[in-house]
Structure 1
Amino acid sequence: MYTLQNTLYVMTPNAYAHLENNTLRIDVEREKRLQVPLHHLGSLVCFGNVLVSPALMHRMADEGKSVVLLDGSGRFKARLEGPVSGNILLRQAHHRSAADGAFALEFARAVIAGKLRNSRSLLLRAAREAADAAEQAQLTRAADNLAASLRALAQARDLDTLRGVEGEAARGYFAALNLVVKPQAREHFALNGRTRRPPLDRFNALLSFLYSMLMNDCRSALETVGLDPQLGYLHAVRPGRAALALDLQEEFRAVLADRLALTLINRGQLGPRDFDEREGGAVMLRDNGRRAVVTAWQERKQEEITHPLLGIKVSIGIVPFVQARLMARTVRGEMDGYLPYLPK
């Protein structure tokens, strides 16, 4: 049985999060806005200029609950957590497997295959629903190109070649996403390639924000099962980079983040007024836009699905934790290879 612990997102500038008895209290301009029992919380995520009391940080660390700091656009800044837990034997196996070139190659291949298959499913679904025949043909062609990338992936003999296949596939996929946006919204939500740090259009700003939240969930999932989020297979190891969390994130980009972004745009839940355009071309979500995205993200995570491999019903928010456990089993040698999440 898997339990989805709640995450509290604080986005109000100058909000003050502090401990009051056994509750977490949020004050804004010295007025109470929210009070939540600590046992209902799994983590606290703060966007931008949010103050957190030392007493609350100590209590969260003592109880194994994380405090995550993001900047106003959702980019990761820091994470506070208690002592590292997990089976040391699993971590030793993880480090040995990362040094095994053949294992790392096959693991990375599975990660990218999951990403490409889920991206292709999104485009094929959009093609079926497209009203314009020419756009339907373009989406189908883009999906066929991803199928060709999957075939090329199977032939790759080193990590650099795998990354090259993934990069080329991603460029074609993001170009096709413009056709999944409803015609009436395209003027305001054109995706001009994938841009970040900073995002240069509204669609990219929305994707970056969603990817930041997804990344936090993937890192938490890996830490929960005892794997080292810093040590990846596909993504190169760099100081401060959660490479394995980035690996795990790949298979969920299309099915969780991209689909939700398209839903918010196509249903008119986000519009131009929910974004700020800043000097230098950077585009960021405004406070109201962030709230709308976070609310939709939390609601999406509560929806139930049947896991295609395990055949059990779980909430979508639990799936990264399920996949992290499958990663751990693969690292231990209990599975022949990693099987990414491929919803039907």
Structure 2
Amino acid sequence: MQLLNTLYVTLPESYLRLDNDTLRVVDEERETRLRVPLHHLQAVVCFGHVGMSAPLMHRLADEGIALVLLDGHGRFKARLEGAVSGNVLLRRAQHHAVDNAAFTLEAARNIVAGKLRNQRQVLMRGARETKDETERARLVRAAQDLAASLRALPAAADLDTLRGLEGEGARGYFEALNLLVKPERREHFQMDGRSRRPPRDRMNALLSFFYSMWMNDCRSAIEAAGLDPQLGFLHALRPGRAALALDLMEEFRPWADRLALTLVNRGQVGPGDFDCREGGAVLLQGDARKAVVVAYQERKQEEVTHPLLAESLPLGLVPLVQARLFARHVRGEAPTYVPFTPR
């Protein structure tokens, strides 16, 4: 299925080469570790130091298969692809929409609302599951604060106010997120707020890793829908920044948070799976990266009910659906953009 056919290469110092119509992955000893027919792929994502032959790069471009380069932390570095085939009329409408202050504010408001609702669901679920009454009360209070931020969104008269409400909600959310880690694992997986570039603790490192993968899938979905990933509404426009992909990803961040919590609480990711570098940076190790990628791919195949479409589909296809819904709004075929907020 679309968006489920991404190859993630996490093996350090591996090398990718072209064998006829097949991509072959070899390790440091030049032993073959994997073969994948090119017609099965939509994107190839490489973490850290991964080499690649020029013939394979040319073939990926010819086949329209995106090549994404991330650093060892999972932070985006570059994306290589062939000629972009967007819908010129849709992109023209998108340019006009970005210049329309009222349209931009409404779109940004809906994006933030989707994120806050999904974050609130994470906290409420945790409140229902915890056996500690004190922690339940704290989680409920944090969820109520997010609800208050949601109620304040309609009164936000500009993007700065809207971003302020989103930032305020995020601070309270990440403080409460620590309570969703099992007590016996909190010593090693506590966050002192959200940190990145680089992550300063294990949980932040894990979250950043998941966010990078969601970001890649959201950008692919936007391009598949014919939109320009650089032209966003909530995130400011900057050269080289996929602002619309960041916009779309906001409503999916809580899904990444839930999966990170699951892996930590089940012991599938432990404190020994991270490297703590000089200067305070924390990096997910190679073997653990593979396990995390597998868990991410498995989660994307789980069926969810889309509240707007009222039908079941794999979670990994939801960004594509949302990108198309956003395209309909940009074209004027839908009165508003409705984020993905299942109950």
Q: Same fold (TM over 0.5)?
A: yes
C-alpha contact (below 8 Å) 1:5/1:40 kept by paired residues: no
1:320 matched to 2:319? The reply is yes
Offset, 1:9: 0.9
Unaligned 5+ residue runs, structure 2? none
Equivalence for 2:198: 198
Using the alignment, how far apart are the partners of 2:206 and 2:22 within structure 1?
32
Matches within 5 A, 1:217-232: 217-232=217-232
Using the alignment, how far apart are the partners of 1:314 and 1:182 within structure 2?
31
Matches within 5 A, 1:324-339: 324-339=323-338
Matches within 5 A, 1:1-344: 3-28=2-27, 29-254=29-254, 256-344=255-343
Offset, 1:10: 0.9
1:298-327, Cα deviation, whole Å (9 max, x unpaired): 000011112111122211100000000001
C-alpha contact (below 8 Å) 1:43/1:65 kept by paired residues: yes
Using the alignment, how far apart are the partners of 1:53 and 1:3 within structure 2?
26
SS in 2 for 1:279: coil
Offset, 1:86: 2.0
Using the alignment, how far apart are the partners of 1:5 and 1:186 within structure 2?
33
Using the alignment, how far apart are the partners of 1:290 and 1:168 within structure 2?
31
1:34-53, Cα deviation, whole Å (9 max, x unpaired): 11111111111111110111
Using the alignment, how far apart are the partners of 2:13 and 2:205 within structure 1?
23
Offset, 1:65: 0.8
C-alpha contact (below 8 Å) 2:4/2:301 kept by paired residues: no
Using the alignment, how far apart are the partners of 1:267 and 1:14 within structure 2?
30
C-alpha contact (below 8 Å) 1:25/1:36 kept by paired residues: yes
Coordinate RMSD, CA, aligned: 0.9
C-alpha contact (below 8 Å) 1:180/1:262 kept by paired residues: yes
Offset, 1:7: 0.8
Offset, 1:287: 0.7
1:180-227, Cα deviation, whole Å (9 max, x unpaired): 111111011001100001110000000011100110000000001110
Specify the code of the residue in structure 2 equivalent to 1:21: N
SS in 2 for 1:281: coil
Using the alignment, how far apart are the partners of 2:50 and 2:342 within structure 1?
37
Unaligned 5+ residue runs, structure 1? none
1:79-106, Cα deviation, whole Å (9 max, x unpaired): 1111111210000000000000000000
Using the alignment, how far apart are the partners of 2:289 and 2:298 within structure 1?
14
Specify the code of the residue in structure 1 equivalent to 2:24: R
Offset, 1:258: 0.4
Specify the code of the residue in structure 2 equivalent to 1:158: D
SS in 2 for 1:24: strand
Using the alignment, how far apart are the partners of 2:62 and 2:258 within structure 1?
37
1:257-303, Cα deviation, whole Å (9 max, x unpaired): 00000000111101110001000111110111111110100000011
TM-score normalised by structure 2 residue count: 0.98
Specify the code of the residue in structure 2 equivalent to 1:270: V
Q: Name segments (4+ residues, structure 1) moved above 3 Å.
A: 2-5
C-alpha contact (below 8 Å) 2:111/2:251 kept by paired residues: yes
Using the alignment, how far apart are the partners of 1:212 and 1:302 within structure 2?
18
Taking only the aligned residue pairs, the percentage that are identical comes to 67
Specify the code of the residue in structure 1 equivalent to 2:80: L
Using the alignment, how far apart are the partners of 1:226 and 1:330 within structure 2?
13
SS in 1 for 2:12: coil
Query: Quick check: 111-120 or 34-43, which moved more?
Result: 34-43
Offset, 1:69: 0.5
SS in 2 for 1:342: coil
| Aligned pairs, number | 342
Offset, 1:5: 4.3
Using the alignment, how far apart are the partners of 1:81 and 1:207 within structure 2?
27
Using the alignment, how far apart are the partners of 2:266 and 2:4 within structure 1?
29
1:120-160, Cα deviation, whole Å (9 max, x unpaired): 01101100111100000000000000000001111101000
C-alpha contact (below 8 Å) 1:47/1:74 kept by paired residues: yes
